[in-house]
Structure 1
Amino acid sequence: MKKVVAELMEANVGKVIEQEPLSKHTTMKIGGPAELFVEPSNIEHLKTTMNIIKKHGVKWRAIGRGSNLLVSDQGISGVVVKLGNGLDDVEIEDNMVKVGGGCSVVKLSMMLSKQGLSGLEFASGIPGSIGGAVYMNAGAHGSDMAAIVEKAHILFEDGTMQWLTKDEMEFSYRHSILQTERPGVCVETVLSMTKGEKEAIVAVMQKNKDYRRETQPWDRPCAGSIFRNPLPQYAGNLIEQAGLKGHEIGGAKVSEQHANFIVNTGDAKAEDVLNLIAHIKAVIKEKFDVEMHTEVEIIQ
């Protein structure tokens, strides 16, 4: 790893830090250290980073803003590449928007509303990155990323990069091809928006944001929805009906505000969260004969 560090530093790709605590880079404030943490300052530096990683055959994985992530207490071996500052550029041309994967969903939705561009109102208040939203096909309020993505620039596991069309992304409920058949991360995407009335767009965004504040515990360290909805049922409703609201294991607690959220009460370990997830799964299976599947990405 010393050679990788030396070459990355020499290439001046951006932040290069050894043993960086990933608790600093997840919204749940949980996670052990990355053996090597790199935050490239632009796409060219990302390409350079990947070339160096491939050259040395080192394990790697990418993260965004860490809002849908649970990292083990032992951390991650190899290189963690963060798509953050420098990979968050936004270009707007008529109703087409090209945006970096590291861009904040909240920042972009605000920016587009001021331009009178409609389509991302559903995401108002979602504290993740655009790259993560595309990866998970994030959605709310009857819409999702699949409704607006035109194409996406993907960094694959072998370090190659390619643009995939909307159809090639194979979007479905909280799913894209990047999670299974062709593992990869979204480096940038082109969104097709609709012209609208600025005031009406802002009003819808504010309504959605207020709803999130009232119903979800975003004032506490959490990772967003823990479970996918076992449609036509809803995960939060099942967990609440099972009497698990407020249930705690260690420092992890089922939110009393929304039962599909697990909050870090201050000193939670990843192990606490995993044990709580396992307990919820077992209880829901026993009471309702429903298999629960996690939406949060678990890295062990």
Structure 2
Amino acid sequence: MKFPIEKLPNIEFKINEPMSKYTFTKTGGNADVLAFPKSRDELVSIINTARDYDIKITIVGNASNLIIKDGGIRGIVIILPNFKQISVDGNVVFAEAGATIIDTTIVAQQYGLTGLEFAAGIPGSVGGAVFMNAGAYGGELTDAFLSAEVLMPDGQILNFNHEDMKFAYRHSAIQENGGIVISAKFQLAKGDKEEIQKEMDHLNALRRSKQPLEYPSCGSVFKRPEGHFTGPLIIEAGLQGKIIGGAQVSMKHAGFIVNIDGATATDYMDLIHLIQREIKQKFDIELQTEVRIIGEDKK
């Protein structure tokens, strides 16, 4: 069944839209319907209408740590770039789900608030970062998280506190309950603006020197296996620089797969599966993907 966009005439929709225009890998098939809600009322209207017509809903945040398969996504896809308000109240930073984590750290620094420096270069949205408990350089979202507004599948908007979120390594309760993060609050501490900026600059310089930011990629592909680091395992397996189609295991950081020449999502998937097989065979370690993989295979 097709989503009845005529019932919601004031909301921006795109039909049969290539998701490669939005993903950080520049790959992915078409979404049947892509929605750009501008307010929580519009978001709730989309969710309720989809539920009434039994149409599948997919949320993609800002599509950074994401692979969308070449067959695309059926039903309706919701993207939240219009949800980007950030504000500060005392030591608490409020950010809507579509705001970038980078912008959120910049606002925190401007108010002299410390606790989010580790996230200064993470390219995801606030919603996506909460969804996967994003982290870098020894910090994770759980360290600063205070609460989140979550739109549940039944249309209710609930407030989730830290305990409700059940954070673990690259995991939150949102991955299981089908909710959509609308906004989040972060509890920070007073700090020195210059020191905060210095730490952010330091971590961003590290990121530029060690990560292949010059190519499209989905960021870190695999979760870190206990007791090991993924990059060195891939190097030891002789897979750094390996190319399938237009996708390559990065020569700068073997934990990344980069799009060097018109890669498809299938190229990415084939390379991921090859790495997993080789690491299992050589080291008896099962690599799990950190990147979220959604959509259908191309028929």
Shift of 1:244: 0.8
Aligned partners of 2:36, 2:262: CA distance in 1, in Å?
27
SS at match of 2:4: helix
Task: Supply the distance in 2 between the matched residues of 1:45 and 1:151 (Cα, whole angstroms).
Answer: 22
C-alpha contact (below 8 Å) 2:101/2:125 kept by paired residues: yes
Opposite residue 210 of structure 1, the aligned amino acid is: A
Q: Within the alignment, does 1:170 sit opposite 2:134 as a pair?
A: no
Alpha-carbon offset, residue 81 of structure 1: 0.6
User: What is the CA–CA distance in structure 1 between the aligned matches of 2:72 and 2:247, rounded to whole Å?
Assistant: 18
> Normalized against structure 1, the TM-score is what?
0.95
* Runs of 4+ with deviation above 2 angstroms: 155-161
Q: Which residue of 2 aligns with 1:107?
A: 103
Provide the C-alpha distance between the structure 2 equivalents of 1:236 and 1:160, rounded to a whole number of angstroms. 42
- Taking the aligned partners of 1:5 and 1:293, their CA distance within structure 2 comes to 38
- The aligned residue for residue 230 of structure 1 is 225
Instruction: Measure how far apart 1:2 and its partner are.
Output: 5.5
CA contact (8 A) 1:8 1:16 kept: no
**SS of residue in 1 equivalent to 2:103:** helix
Aligned-partner Cα distance in 2 for 1:27–1:139: 18
Aligned partners of 1:254 and 1:263 also within 8 Å: yes
Amino acid at match of 1:232: G
**Contact 2:247 2:271 (8 Å CA) reproduced:** yes
Aligned ranges 1:244-283 → 2 under 5 Å = 244-283=239-278
Contact conserved, 1:116 with 1:198, CA < 8 A, in 2? yes
Paired residues in the alignment total 295
Contact 2:29/2:69, CA 8 A, preserved across alignment: yes
Pick from 78, 85, 93 the counterpart of residue 81 of structure 1.
Answer: 78
Three-state SS of the structure 2 residue aligned to 1:274 is helix
Deviates more, 1:150-159 or 1:252-261: 150-159
For 2:24 and 2:151, the matched residues in 1 are separated by: 23
Asked whether 1:92 is paired with 2:88, we answer: yes
User: Which stretch of the first structure deviates more once superposed, 117-126 or 148-157?
Assistant: 148-157
Provide the residue aligned with 1:43 in structure 2.
40
Consecutive unaligned residues in structure 1, runs of 5 or more:
none
SS of the counterpart of 1:146?
helix
Indicate which of 271, 279, 284 corresponds to 1:284: 279
**Structure 1 position 124, deviation (Å):** 1.0
Aligned to 1:5: 5
1:25 to 1:211, Cα distance in 2 relative to 1, 3 A:
same
Of residues 19, 22, 34, the one that matches 1:22 is 19
TM-score between both structures, scaled by the size of structure 2: 0.96
Following the alignment from structure 1 to structure 2, what is the Cα–Cα distance between the partners of residues 198 and 213? 22
Which moves more between the two structures, 182-191 or 170-179? 182-191
CA distance in 1, matches of 2:146, 2:3: 39
Q: Which residue of 2 aligns with 1:148?
A: 144
Instruction: Report the alpha carbon displacement of residue 158 of structure 1 after superposing the two structures with TM.
Output: 3.9
Q: Distance in 1 between matches of 2:293 and 2:131?
A: 14
C-alpha distance in structure 1 between counterparts of 2:165 and 2:99, whole Å: 20
RMSD value over aligned CA atoms? 1.2
Structure 2 alignment gaps of length 5 or more: none
1:219 matched to 2:225: no
What one-letter code is carried by the residue in structure 2 that aligns with 1:88? Answer: K
Q: Counterparts in 2 of 1:50-65, with a 5 A limit?
A: 50-65=47-62
In 2, Cα distance between the equivalents of 1:55 and 1:183?
17
Q: Distance in 2 between matches of 1:208 and 1:171?
A: 24
Q: Is the 8 A contact 1:171 1:177 kept in 2?
A: yes
Residues 119-138 of structure 1 mapped to structure 2, 5 A cutoff:
119-138=115-134
Question: 1:260: how far off?
Answer: 0.7
User: How much does 1:112 deviate?
Assistant: 1.2
2:201 is aligned to 206
State the alpha-carbon separation in 1 of the partners of residues 80 and 37 from structure 2. Answer: 7
AA aligned to 1:231 is E
